[in-house]
């Protein structure tokens, strides 16, 4: 049958199913009990980090040669999805570790990989990604942070905004301008360490959702770093950043899937227990139609995301035939839109209870919103898709 071979390339294997069972059990036992408090107190989910590190699930994407699990893209998606099902903030630990370190994996020297991927794989450090700035969001090419060569060093000055896990991560991939006359071709990528002199952080942002994942500005004030912390060649940073996002937008789709699955699971249970007019509200056709639509959208989003993950893996293996830019953007856009709709419907199904913090679906709805915004707004994703139609 036409297309069946391609389907087999992204259908989860028995090993993927076993991984899902493992992560789900850990998430329900070690992460879910703290999710509400993490949100309410807007504190970093340390319990989740400890549990993930103990099980080697905090950065499964790191290649085996650098001490990691060497998980494929679909396995990474499943890990993030299952954690997000109970706590979106906690799912940003493996997701942002991949986002921050992937530029090093894609373009870094062997020395950089050995220096920074090993501690990441061991759980001794986390990795963040510094692209956006106060005046450079969707137009990342308009960044103003500068890196000036000074002998065997570079000196960095600037401000990065909306940096996930800033202040907690030890390592930061920082995009900075090395040649202002070349716009995007004058942007380079560097590894900056939290302990480098001149690195500091702003106050945590007061956010609608993912409150357990700190989002802060990163200030670079005459930060002097060795020249060998340049990722790739000068002027290739923006290209590396875009290649990175092709892969990691799929992890945001995974996060959206998990949030949506958690909301659907809770709503399904609730409508069987909640009785009105003498019977469970789940027996009413109007409620059944809502659940059917939620499940349909979720499954469509999952299939698109898993297909994109398979393409990501084949691109990583050297295939030049994949439309990863289109499919990565499509997965992120579709899954996040679906998550927003599904979580909103879950709140509706719980009625007044859904609107209170005594039930988890309002948190899931708040958490879902950011998946439509970060790593490129969904309006930008549609521009990307239109320019890369398969």
CA–CA separation, 262 and 88 (whole Å): 10
- Active-site residue, selected from the candidate residues 234, 313, 362, 375: 375
Q: Where are the beta strands (DSSP E) in 255-302?
A: 275-276, 279-280
Q: Is 205 a catalytic residue?
A: no
Residue 150 parent element (H or E): strand 146-150
Kindly report the number of other CB atoms within 10 A of residue 2's CB atom. Answer: 5
Residues in the chain: 390
Name the residue among 237, 151, 222, 148 with its Cα closest to residue 191.
Answer: 237
Report the largest interatomic distance among the alpha carbons of the chain, rounded to a whole angstrom: 79
> Which stretch of DSSP H or E encloses residue 175?
strand 171-177
| Cα(154)–Cα(352) distance, integer angstroms | 56
- The first and second tokens of residue 368, run together, are 């879902």
Report d(CA 49, CA 30) in Å as an integer.
10
CA distance 352 to 270: 13
CA-based nearest residue to 93, from 65, 60, 135: 60
The DSSP bridge pattern shows strands 153-164 and 215-226 to be antiparallel
The span from the CA of 303 to the CA of 7, in Å, is 10
Which amino acids are annotated catalytic? 375
């Amino acid at each position: 049958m036409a297309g069946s071979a391609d389907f087999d390339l992204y259908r989860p294997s028995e090993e993927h199913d076993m991984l899902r069972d493992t992560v789900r059990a850990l998430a329900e036992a070690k992460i879910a009990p703290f999710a509400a408090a993490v949100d309410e107190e807007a504190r970093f989910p340390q319990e989740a980090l400890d549990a993930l590190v103990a099980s080697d699930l905090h950065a499964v994407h790191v290649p085996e040669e650098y001490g990691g699990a060497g998980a494929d893209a679909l396995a990474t998606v499943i890990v993030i999805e299952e954690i997000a099902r109970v706590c979106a903030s906690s799912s940003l630990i493996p997701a942002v570790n991949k986002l921050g370190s992937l530029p090093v994996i894609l373009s870094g020297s062997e020395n950089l990989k050995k220096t920074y991927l090993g501690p990441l794989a061991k759980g001794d450090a986390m990795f963040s990604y510094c692209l956006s700035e106060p005046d450079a969001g969707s137009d990342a090419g308009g960044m103003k942070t500068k890196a000036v060569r000074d002998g065997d060093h570079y000196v960095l000055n600037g401000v990065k905004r909306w940096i996930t896990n800033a202040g907690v991560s030890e390592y930061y991939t920082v995009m900075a301008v090395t040649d202002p006359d070349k716009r995007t071709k004058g942007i380079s990528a560097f590894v900056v360490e939290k302990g480098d002199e001149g690195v500091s952080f702003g106050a945590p942002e007061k956010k609608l959702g993912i409150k357990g994942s700190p989002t802060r500005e990163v200030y670079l004030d005459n930060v002097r770093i060795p020249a060998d912390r340049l990722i790739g060649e000068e002027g290739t940073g923006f290209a590396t950043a875009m290649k990175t996002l092709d892969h990691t937008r799929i992890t945001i789709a995974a996060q959206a899937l998990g949030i949506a699955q958690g909301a659907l699971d809770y709503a399904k249970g609730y409508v069987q227990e909640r009785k009105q007019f003498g019977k469970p509200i789940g027996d009413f056709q109007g409620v059944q139609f809502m659940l059917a639509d939620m499940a349909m959208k979720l499954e469509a989003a999952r299939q698109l995301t898993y297909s994109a993950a398979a393409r990501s893996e084949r691109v990583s293996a050297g295939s030049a035939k994949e439309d990863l830019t289109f499919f990565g953007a499509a997965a992120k856009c579709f899954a996040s839109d679906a998550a927003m709709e599904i979580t909103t419907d879950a709140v509706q199904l719980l009625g007044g209870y859904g609107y209170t913090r005594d039930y988890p679906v309002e948190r899931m709805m708040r958490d879902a919103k950011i998946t439509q915004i970060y790593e490129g707004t969904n309006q930008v994703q549609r521009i990307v898709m239109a320019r890369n139609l398969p």
